[in-house]
């Protein structure tokens, strides 16, 4: 009998690498409370954030030479989650409990620390690799934001094109009543949307990104359950927006966004500009998604779909496979071409 798939089988970003230094860090992922710290090899450790003694939060304690000390009675845990010191027992090591704190798998990759809450032998997973991070010719600006909405609605928003002309009116795009054709494909637990014949709907970015109004390469991808990646190509220039959504609970999502670009000569110069504009665009989405979640809390997620929403219907179908404990990889491939106006 195979173990049913669970959202906990996937890897989620717990924090950025440079956030985890001399102090423990508390995080909540899928309702689980986690404390992070670095052991004496600087390896990121993730334990359940509760002391085995009387249940204090270890994250309120202190790091001690690669170990963590509970703030209540000072028990010290090593990177294995084993209690190695009980101050009130003096040096009576035989009094140390055999029980260990619950420990989660961690990986450090692309400047991020990932946690896996539950290993599934029938469904091995790996952290999503951020496209072109640290590659020659590419620069990355990283952003962190908290959305008061769930992972599904966040991920849908990050590859939703029709909202851009309203929520991001002028900054990002302007409405031209332009017809857009997209090939939408569901395969291998992802949804890939390839936009055809897009030219000049980038608002006032156009003068820089696409001065000659050449056809734009635009591919949006959703990787179930929690990652999206957007690629724009303008001749030799590239712009990638990769977002890792982390479910804190059913109503809150932490989002780690990498804006990765290859603008040639302008690369370094563009960084603060990209950061400022990227954050401005995200702030608009935070408002839109907060608005949406308030209504969902009141009336439920009663959605109607327009033509462009086939993208979201595919996303939801993959997500719901995981909710049902099934592997989204096994869902039938689908491919369709759609037209809509922005
Ligand atoms: S509760 Fe942690 S040492 Fe007592
Ligand atoms: Fe948006």
pLDDT tens digits, 330-340: 999 999 999 99
Q: What is the DSSP letter of 236?
A: T
Whether 86 lines ligand 1, by a CB cut-off of 6 Å, is no
- Encoding tokens for residue 6? 């669970």
Dig out the tokens for 200 from the structure: 């000049």
Higher pLDDT: 320 or 214? It is 320
User: Taking residues 2-22, what's their average pLDDT?
Assistant: 96
- Distance between CA atoms of 171 and 130, rounded to whole angstroms? 25
- The DSSP symbol for 115 reads E
Work out which ligand 1 atom sits closest to the CA atom of 54: 1
Q: Say what the pLDDT of residue 266 is.
A: 85
- What's the pLDDT at 175? 65
pLDDT of 214: 74
Distance 75 CA to ligand 1 centre (A): 6
Q: What is the mean pLDDT of residues 98-127?
A: 97
Residues 242-275 pLDDT 10s: 999 999 999 999 999 999 999 998 898 999 999 9
Rg (CA), the chain: 23
- Whole-angstrom distance, CA of residue 224 vs CA of residue 155: 9
Quote the pLDDT of residue 173: 62
**For atom 4 of ligand 1, which residue has the closest CA?**
73
238 forms beta bridges with: 233, 262
DSSP 256-313: EEEEEEE-GGGHHHHHHHHHHHHHHHHHHHHHHHHHHHHHHHHH-------GGGHHHH
What pLDDT is attached to residue 208? Answer: 64
- What integer best gives the mean pLDDT of the chain? 94
Convert the pLDDT of each residue in 297-316 to its tens digit.
999 999 999 999 999 999 99
Cα–chain-centroid distance for residue 221? 13
- Cα separation, 48 vs 295, in Å, equals 33
Which one has a higher pLDDT value, 161 or 208?
161
**69 Cα–ligand 1 center, Å:** 9
Interatomic CA distance for residues 48 and 33, integer angstroms: 6
Q: Give the span between the Cα atoms of 88 and 75, in whole angstroms.
A: 9
Q: Percent of the chain, pLDDT > 70?
A: 94
More confident: 339 or 215? 339
Pocket flag, ligand 1, residue 89 (CB < 6 Å) = no
- Is the distance from the beta carbon of residue 183 to the nearest atom of ligand 1 less than 6 Å? no
Query: In this model, does residue 213 exceed pLDDT 80?
Result: no
pLDDT value, residue 201: 57
pLDDT of residue 325: 96
Return the pLDDT at 202.
Answer: 58
pLDDT of 135 strictly over 90: yes
> Regarding predicted confidence, which is higher, 258 or 199?
258
Distance 164 CA to ligand 2 centre (A): 6
């Amino acid at each position: 009998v195979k173990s049913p798939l669970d959202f906990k089988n996937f890897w989620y970003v717990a924090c950025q690498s440079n956030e985890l230094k001399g102090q423990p860090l508390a995080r909540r992922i899928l309702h689980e409370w986690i404390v992070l710290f670095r052991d004496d090899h600087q390896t990121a450790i993730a334990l359940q954030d509760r002391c085995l003694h009387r249940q204090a939060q270890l994250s309120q304690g202190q790091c001690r030479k690669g170990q963590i000390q509970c703030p209540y009675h000072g028990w010290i845990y090593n990177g294995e989650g084993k209690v190695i010191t009980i101050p009130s027992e003096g040096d009576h090591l035989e009094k140390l409990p055999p029980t260990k704190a619950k420990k989660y798998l961690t990986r450090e990759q692309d400047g991020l620390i990932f946690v896996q809450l539950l290993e599934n032998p029938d469904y091995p997973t790996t952290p999503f690799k951020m496209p072109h991070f640290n590659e020659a010719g590419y620069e990355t600006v990283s952003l962190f934001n908290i959305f008061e909405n769930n992972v599904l609605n966040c991920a849908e928003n990050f590859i939703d094109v029709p909202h851009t002309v309203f929520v991001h009116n002028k900054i990002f795009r302007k409405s031209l009543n332009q017809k857009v054709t997209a090939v939408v494909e569901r395969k291998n637990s992802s949804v890939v949307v390839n936009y055809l014949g897009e030219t000049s709907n980038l608002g006032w970015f156009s003068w820089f990104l696409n001065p000659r109004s050449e056809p734009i390469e635009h591919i949006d991808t959703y990787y179930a359950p929690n990652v999206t990646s957007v690629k724009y190509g303008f001749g030799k220039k590239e712009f990638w927006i990769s977002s890792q959504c982390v479910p804190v609970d059913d109503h809150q999502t932490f989002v780690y966004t990498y804006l990765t670009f290859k603008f040639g000569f302008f690369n370094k110069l563009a960084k603060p500009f990209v950061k400022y504009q990227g954050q401005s665009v995200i702030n608009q989405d935070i408002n839109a998604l907060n608005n949406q979640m308030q209504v969902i809390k009141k009336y439920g997620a009663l959605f109607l779909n327009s033509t462009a929403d086939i993208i979201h219907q595919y996303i939801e179908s993959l997500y719901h496979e995981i909710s049902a404990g099934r592997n989204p990889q096994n869902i039938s491939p689908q491919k369709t071409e759609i037209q809509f106006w922005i």
